Structure 1
Amino acid sequence: MQPSSDLQQQLDSVEDALRRTRLRTMQRMAGGLLLLAFLVFCLARSLLGLHPAWGYVSAFAEAAMVGAVADWFAVVALFRHPLGIPVWHTAIIPNSKDDIGRNLGQFVESHFITEQGIAERIRQANPAGLLGAWLLAPGHSAQLGLAMAKAARVVLNALDHEAMGLLVQGAATRQLSQFDIAATAGKLLDLLMAGGSHQQLLDSVLRELSSYLDEEKNQQQAIDFLIAAFGVENVFYKVGTAAIGPRALRSLARSAHEVLLDPAHPARARFTNWLQEFVLHLKDDPAWHEFIARHQQETLASARVQDLLGSLWGVLRDRLLDDLGRDDPATARQIAMLAGKVGDALAHDERLVEGLNRAIESGSVLLVRNHRGEVGQFIETQLARWSREEMSDRIELAIGRDLQFIRINGTLVGGLVGLAIYSATRLLG
């Protein structure tokens, strides 16, 4: 497959060849009229004595030749020296190349790339409305989703994954280190207690605890856990703990049942008071803040946590590539769904359309305002890269065919003017 730049050059060459052919055709037509006028003039002069009418024909042909030659000189003088003779004020375009580039750039800036003109064009175009209509057209949202999914896959494959991993790791570490765990936990507990949800949380814990302790097999596990937790090594203490453990666990289960079944149980009030004190420490106790922040930073600096954060990008990348490599990726569906919602909103919300159009207009006007001077400079720089001959050739290919009509019209109009003058002099004697 050919690169797009090579293909574009081929297309430009074909277009230039077509324009050159059409230009040569018109040049031959204009030159043919001049030759015809010369032949008619010669014929009329040779037959002048046979009839007075040949005088009129001769006058027409003579003036037509003068008009054709004069306009040929004028047209050719724009692009080169006629017959290669450096007559004064000829080859105007190549000799004025720099001035043309500068004046063209200023002209475009002053009359085309203006803030008012851009704003009016955007208002007439209604880009937000056009976007909404396009997104709602059948299949467009799905096409957009697939196109963006393919583009995302290409971008992902092109990234430096080692650098991206370090970047994500560093960003995650910074964000987590700045996260105020104490204040956030205090706010969450405030919200939990405001609606009485902490009591529901207590009920859930008591219900699970009761259910766990009601089973005999779990009681032995709990006793073994207590012995290990308190580091009991003495045989008598172990036997005593094993003996009183089941009774203590049954008592704990009964107490949990009592609190669970009694909404007004004093333990609930103590739980609420304990939570309130805990929230106050989280929100206002500097010592707690310092303690939590220190352990937060130590945890983040640990090798295990850093390894976990360092693997975030790899996990995210693998999942994205796995999804984007499928025929119908979920990412494309999500993008299509979002695009459809945007299109529906733009189709039914006039205020949204108006606001988006206004934002596009403001952004475009600001862009023109900040970079307006660069447009003329860009045009002037581009034209400066052309040689005089190249610039003259390009302009001639663009407008030269139309300029040949000046030669044709000059031939005909000159002949008619000559005929009119000859006729007037004959009538006036």
Structure 2
Amino acid sequence: MARTPTALLSPADQERRRALRTMKGVALGALIGMAVVFVVAFAFQNEVEWLQYVRAAAEGGMVGALADWFAVTALFRHPLGLPIPHTAIIPRRKDEIGAQLGEFVETNFLEGDVVRTKLESTPLSARAGAWLAQPAHADRVAAEGATVASSILRALSDDDVQGLIEDLAREHLLSPDWGPSVGGWLERVVESGAHHGAVDLALDNIATWLGNNREQFQGLVSRRLPSWVPGLALRLVDDTVYREAVGFVDAVRADPGHPARDTIDGYLARLADNLQHDPGTMMRLEEAKAAVFDSPRVRRLAAEAWNTAKAGLLTALADPNSSLRRRASSALAEIGVRLGRDETLQKRVDGWITDAAVFLVGRYRHDIASIITDTVERWDAEETTEKIELMVGRDLQYIRLNGTIVGALAGLVIFTVAHLVFG
């Protein structure tokens, strides 16, 4: 079987390979030692009677060593390259072993009661809270979350996002009729008098504009009068119109019961009623709404808003000192402190985690266990054999060594008993 070059192995596997070679050398040395002792004892047993016992022990040791060498080797390859039946078990039954291992894990570990018992005995939220309460750990979680969020934002297609925003806007803004809802809202505003503040604000702005733009009234009316009217009369007309406008606005501002305010209230009340019941008014509102949302300029503004928001988020996520990152770290640390102190919250969170884990295990246990089966099936037979041999091969060499010792003791006992019985 071809061996993986040492340079391609992990440091742990390289250490396992060195330990395996050492133990193979020890087991082989024990076999060779028994063979040497057997030869010497066999050659001189007639001259030295007690060497018969040594020969029997060495003979049993060699038999035990060879038998265990055959058994251990048969797990991984054909002994001496001979296709002996029931040898090279692991490479020949690799897929079956993987399936059985996956079934074993699924049956004995991925079981709802096992998972629940283990999780209920582990204070998950308390440990997580104590860990998260440390600022360094909160910063780390915030940094990892920022990295994930940045990756998601970069992966998103701007066109797709804008299309999604447009679809959502059409579904939730354009498709529903605005008339009844806007009319009902306006009706409640008028009934409660909440619009009076808006009216006062509008009057204040009008008064300010009139005070700052008197020249705008020059010729406003006079240019429409006949040319034979004297200039003094024209200026008088314009001044009169301006003073009347200023006086009217001031009067309305000063008198909460002014007829103009009642007129505004009446108009808003009629508008609210028409928006709810008049088809013509509702149609005009829908047409205005469609004209606004279908405007190319509005679409460009939406695209620019998304691009600006995306760029701002990416900048804030990338900067450890940004307010977003600092607030995220602070919030995570506060969550950690609360998790570490609030036993009620701990029980609630532990319950959520346990229920979620049991649900996932119950529904996907076979899929989870199939990872083992599928992974082993993808492995090359020789690679699988080498992996398993590196993991357990060193311990199996102890079996060879123990077989040598036990075989020697068994041979000595058998020979001794036979000698005592038969002479």
User: Scaled by the length of structure 2, what TM-score is found?
Assistant: 0.81
Q: Distance in 2 between matches of 1:370 and 1:130?
A: 27
**Counterpart-to-counterpart distance in 2, 1:407 and 1:401:** 10
1:75 Cα deviation from its structure 2 partner? 0.9
Structure 1 contact 72–407 (Cα < 8 Å) conserved:
yes
Residues 300-311 of structure 1 mapped to structure 2, 5 A cutoff: 300-311=293-304
2:60–2:408 Cα contact (<8 Å) kept: yes
Structure 2: distance between partners of 1:133 and 1:286: 63
Cα distance change, pair 275–130 in 1 and its aligned pair in 2 (3 A):
farther
Indicate the residue corresponding to 1:400 in structure 2: 393
CA distance in 2, matches of 1:233, 1:177: 48
1:138 aligns with 2:135: yes
1:382 positional shift: 2.3
Q: Residue 59 of structure 2 aligns with which residue? A: 62
Report the CA distance shift for 1:224/1:58 in structure 2 as closer, same or farther (over 3 A): farther
TM superposition shift of 1:32: 0.9
Structure 2 residue aligned with 1:102: 99
The letter for the 1-side match of 2:137 is H
CA pair 137-183 structure 1, distance change in 2 beyond 3 A: farther
Decide which of 23, 26, 30 is 1:26's aligned counterpart: 23
Shift of 1:269: 6.5
Structure 2 contact 200–253 (Cα < 8 Å) conserved: no
Please tell me whether the aligned partners of residues 145 and 331 of structure 1 are also in contact (alpha carbons under 8 angstroms).
Answer: no
The corresponding residue for 2:3 is: none
State yes or no: 1:118 paired with 2:111: no
Question: Which residue does 1:249 correspond to in 2?
Answer: 245
CA distance in 2, matches of 1:187, 1:359: 43
Structure 1 vs Structure 2: percent identity of aligned residues? 32
The answer for the alignment partner of 2:405 in structure 1 is: 412
1:254–1:131: structure 2 CA closer, same or farther, 3 Å change rule? same
Letter in 1 for 2:244: A
* Contact 1:77–1:91, Cα closer than 8 Å, also in 2: yes
In the alignment, is residue 46 of structure 1 matched against residue 39 of structure 2? no
Report the TM-score, using the length of structure 1 for normalisation. Answer: 0.80
Structure 1 residue corresponding to 2:353, chosen from 333, 352, 360: 360
Partner AA of 2:130 in structure 1 = A
Give the C-alpha shift of residue 88 in structure 1.
2.4
Q: Deviations over 1:241-296 (max 9, x none)?
A: 51421341343144234325xxx777767665655554444455554433322221
Deviation at 1:173, TM superposition (A): 4.9
Residue 359 of structure 2 aligns to which amino acid in structure 1?
A: L
- For the Cα contact (< 8 Å) 1:68–1:411, is it kept in 2? yes
Q: How does 1:195-210 map onto structure 2 within 5 Å?
A: 197-209=194-206
Cα separation, partners in 2 of 1:194 and 1:406, compared to 1, 3 Å:
farther
Tell which deviates more after alignment, 231-240 or 23-32.
231-240
Contact map agreement 2:41 2:55 (CA 8 A) in 1: yes
Where structure 2 has 5 or more consecutive residues not aligned to the other structure, the ranges are 1-5
Distance in 1 separating the partners of 2:410 and 2:174: 92
Cα RMSD, aligned residues only:
3.6
Does the CA-based 8 Å contact 2:252-2:261 persist in structure 1? Answer: no
Aligned counterpart, 1:4: none
8 A Cα contact 1:165 1:312, kept in partner: no
Cα deviation per residue 1:325-345 (whole Å; 9 max; x = unaligned)? Answer: 546233322322332343344
Aligned residue in 2 for 1:342: 335
CA contact (8 A) 2:219 2:238 kept: no
Q: Deviations over 1:162-181 (max 9, x none)?
A: 55445445544554324654
Q: CA deviation at 1:427?
A: 4.3
**Cα deviation 1:104-142 (Å, max 9, x = unaligned):** 222222122223333333334444334333321122222
Q: How far did 1:233 drift?
A: 6.7
Structure 2 match to 1:388: 381
Look up the equivalent residue of 1:419 and give its one-letter code: L
CA deviations 1:181-211 (Å, max 9, x no partner) are 4455456556656765434444444455556
> Which stretch shifts more, 417-426 or 66-75?
417-426
User: Which shifted more, 91-100 or 147-156?
Assistant: 147-156
User: Structure 1's 298 and 286: CA in aligned 2 closer, same or farther, altered over 3 A?
Assistant: same
Give, in whole Å, the separation in 1 of the partners of 2:57 and 2:353.
62
Q: Which amino acid aligns with 2:242?
A: P
| Partners of 1:97 and 1:238 in 2: CA distance | 109
Q: Please tell me whether the aligned partners of residues 102 and 376 of structure 1 are also in contact (alpha carbons under 8 angstroms).
A: no
Offset of residue 405 of structure 1: 0.9
Question: Residues 185 and 48 from structure 1, CA distance in 2 versus in 1: closer, same or farther, beyond 3 angstroms?
Answer: same
2: CA distance between counterparts of 1:334 and 1:185?
38
Contact in 2 for aligned 1:232/1:238 (Cα 8 Å): no
Matching residue's letter, 1:336: S
Deviation at 1:22, TM superposition (A): 1.3
Q: Provide the secondary structure at the position in 1 that maps to 2:64.
A: helix
Post-superposition shift, 1:89? Answer: 1.7
On the 8 A contact 2:60/2:407 being kept in 1, the answer is: yes
For residues 341 and 286 of structure 2, the distance between their equivalents in structure 1, rounded to whole angstroms, comes to 49
Q: Structure 1 residues 417 and 325 mapped into 2: Cα distance closer, same or farther (>3 Å)?
A: closer
Distance 1:251 1:69 in 2: 121
- The residue type equivalent to 1:139 in the other structure is A
Aligned to 2:287: 294
| Counterparts in 2 of 1:366 and 1:241: CA distance versus 1, 3 Å | farther
* Count of residues paired in the alignment: 413
